[in-house]
Chains A and B, each alone.
Chain A
Amino acid sequence: MSLGFIVPLGFIFFRSFTIDGVFTLEGFRSLLTSPLFVRVFWTTLEISLIASIVALAVGYPVALHISRQSERVRSLYLIMVLLPFWTSILVKSYAFTVILGDAGLINTALRALRLPQFEMIFNRFGVLAASTNFLVPFAVFPILANLLAQDPNLGKAAEVMGAGPLRIFWRITFPLSGSGVLAGFILTFVLSLGLFATPALLGGRHDMMMANLIDFYTRDTLNWNAASAIAVILLFTSAVLLLLLNRVRGTEKFA
């Protein structure tokens, strides 16, 4: 298995530093000076950042609610969170065209009610909606793990001391869940850096992301050197973030 990973990866590394077998940094140099790459890079960061934050904002209350259920109800809720998680991202992105498209569920309903309709696909909104949907389970799990690991006696102790539910949440539960939120953020951010199908299907011209750019270089311009260099940059960014995630996990019990 490792052979199946390492050989192609080595090949990509080799390609990113060579043109026709000769060592060169030309691939990286041309990328960093290419306005296209710089724009796609910022777009990617922007979409990833917004989608991750929205996913966390949606996922936190979900995780909080699940953490307060009995074990039986909790497993039921977990299945509900996991179902979309097991569905292919391609299928989910298509599903969003059915919901958000011009002839989709929402716009049809708006039209029937004689209300103004919105363009919700082939633009930034479509990409963000679909990628947030994809990311929510990845935000829920680290937060839920953290909440379940919190000592239930802390809440009880605070309650005996007279604290109300809001104070218990903001002074105890939430500050203690910081490492779970951070882990969830890194995870969702790294995942969204590599999004390909969602921006391809639901994005417009201005929503191209890094993975789409790789696709463009390999298939349209046949510039394998530049495509490999982008892959290496993407891999490097993800690796740094995942290392950070490891550090967060390692310090979790002392948080």
Chain B
Amino acid sequence: MTVVELKGVSRKYGNIVALDCLDLVVEKGEFLTLLGPSGSGKTTLLNIIAGMTPPSSGRVEIDGRDVTDMPTRQRGLGMVFQNYALMPHMTVFDNIAFPLRVRRVREQEIRIRVAEVLDIVNLRDLGGRKPRELSGGQQQRVAIARCLVYKPSLILMDEPLGALDKKLREQLQLEIKRLHSDLGVTVVYVTHDQEEALTLSDRICLMNTGRIEQLGTPHELYFAPETVFGAQFLGESNVLTATVSESSSEETVLRCSVGTIRAPTTSVATGAEVTIVVRPENIRRLAPGECIGNELSGELIDTTFVGGVTRYYVRPDNGSVLVLKELTNRTAWAAGSGKVRIGWSAEHTLVIQNIAGR
């Protein structure tokens, strides 16, 4: 069942296009993340779903009803804000009871339902506190409880963990994930943090300059990026430009500044200009004489040791610096090793077609 459907939604601010004719469908029970850099239009999109920004053109449907012209308060949504937006003069209990009082629920039932959601977010005994007496993480859990209590069909979250430190953020990510799978709520989540998007989402909608760059599962976005932007925004990438010199049913052979590179078979025509992407974790240090499909020799420029992983920066004989990333082990190359050999297997070469205008 579809919860949200956007049909050709655009938003312009004067001459600036914040959203460019966008279609999107969110299914019931889904966790969809809008991921993108600032200015990519993800918050504008969220505000259009919430009804706080009207679209310049296009239609918005929620639960099968056209709500394009319906005011925010009639849409029956839930929303979690980055700065929590708890009412500072009300207790935790009154904050969570607020949407129920709006709906004229009886006080007796309010007490039961607030206690229920306080239990769900593990804040059982804190109903009498004021928001300022709680930690940031607790405040955000109150804000989430305030959404859950009236069971909206859709919960919008606008960078809800942006104000928290890393440890707390990871803990709350797991908690949000648990709530989502336990309660089966539909969530549209905005973030610019790729790890957060990968951790939480059923699907990620990667946005850039007001358009959907790619829409798919975290797996698809990571292993099969369709654009260079996508490859660079999710995870790290080495990017090279190349020309297809040979294309067969077994493999594709490409020519670029560092030499000949082999990739899995693609539909790209021979002679086409393409971009190739190799993830740093797929490049390996090679022993003398070892062959794994693609080999390069170059100069080791720098080594950084970041605890669990070590990065090597290698400049091939002809071309710009490539990064490779390995789990730290005791056989690490020392800085100043001079000439080294690196390589990756053909299956790890991602070939991305150059699309005009991107």
From known contacts A157-B79, A157-B81, infer whether A163 and B89 are also in contact, taking CB-CB under 8 Å. no
Separation in Å of the A185 CB from the closest CB of chain B?
19
A153 touches B89 (CB 8 A): no
B78 touches A160 (CB 8 A): yes
Query: Which residue of B52, B76, B79 has the most chain A CB atoms within 10 A of its CB atom?
Result: B79
Query: Which residue of A159, A175, A176, A254 has the most chain B CB atoms within 10 A of its CB atom?
Result: A159
What chain B residues lie within 8 Å of A156 (beta carbons)?
Answer: 52, 72, 79, 81, 85
Separation in Å of the B52 CB from the closest CB of chain A?
6
What chain B residues lie within 8 Å of A175 (beta carbons)?
Answer: 89
Interface of A is mostly: helix
Q: Which of B73, B81, B132 contacts A153 (CB 8 A)?
A: B81
Separation in Å of the B117 CB from the closest CB of chain A?
14
- A144-163 contacts to B (CB < 8 Å): 151, 153-154, 156-163
What is the bound-complex CA distance between A69 and B150, given in angstroms?
32
What chain A residues lie within 8 Å of B85 (beta carbons)?
Answer: 151, 153-154, 156-157
Interface residues on B, range: 20 to 34
> Does residue B167 face the partner (Cβ distance < 8 Å to A)?
no
What chain B residues lie within 8 Å of A74 (beta carbons)?
Answer: none
What chain A residues lie within 8 Å of B52 (beta carbons)?
Answer: 156, 159
- B67-85 contacts to A (CB < 8 Å): 71-79, 81, 83, 85
Separation in Å of the B80 CB from the closest CB of chain A?
9
Instruction: Give A167's nearest chain B residue, CB to CB.
Output: B102
> Does residue A255 face the partner (Cβ distance < 8 Å to B)?
yes
Separation in Å of the B53 CB from the closest CB of chain A?
11
What chain A residues lie within 8 Å of B17 (beta carbons)?
Answer: none
From known contacts A159-B72, A162-B73, A162-B103, infer whether A255 and B79 are also in contact, taking CB-CB under 8 Å. no
> Does residue A164 face the partner (Cβ distance < 8 Å to B)?
yes
> Does residue B98 face the partner (Cβ distance < 8 Å to A)?
yes
What is the bound-complex CA distance between A197 and B98, given in angstroms?
50
Interface residues on A, range: 10 to 19
Q: Mark B154-169, 1 if CB is under 8 A from A, else 0.
A: 0010000000000000
A160 touches B102 (CB 8 A): no
Q: Which of A153, A154, A160, A176 contacts B77 (CB 8 A)?
A: A160
Instruction: Give B79's nearest chain A residue, CB to CB.
Output: A160
> Does residue B87 face the partner (Cβ distance < 8 Å to A)?
yes
A160 touches B50 (CB 8 A): yes
Instruction: Give B50's nearest chain A residue, CB to CB.
Output: A160
> Does residue A172 face the partner (Cβ distance < 8 Å to B)?
yes
What chain B residues lie within 8 Å of A176 (beta carbons)?
Answer: 87-89
What chain A residues lie within 8 Å of B78 (beta carbons)?
Answer: 160-161
A161 touches B83 (CB 8 A): no
Q: Which residues of A contact B (CB under 8 A)?
A: 151, 153-154, 156-164, 167, 171-172, 175-176, 254-255
The 4 tightest CB contacts between A and B, nearest first, are: A161-B99, A153-B85, A157-B85, A160-B79
Q: Please list 27 pairs of residues, one from A and one from B, whose beta carbons are closer than 8 Å in the complex, sorted by A's number.
A: A151-B85, A153-B81, A153-B83, A153-B85, A156-B72, A156-B79, A158-B87, A158-B98, A159-B52, A159-B71, A159-B72, A160-B75, A160-B79, A160-B156, A161-B98, A161-B146, A161-B150, A162-B73, A162-B74, A162-B99, A162-B150, A167-B102, A171-B87, A171-B98, A176-B88, A176-B89, A255-B89
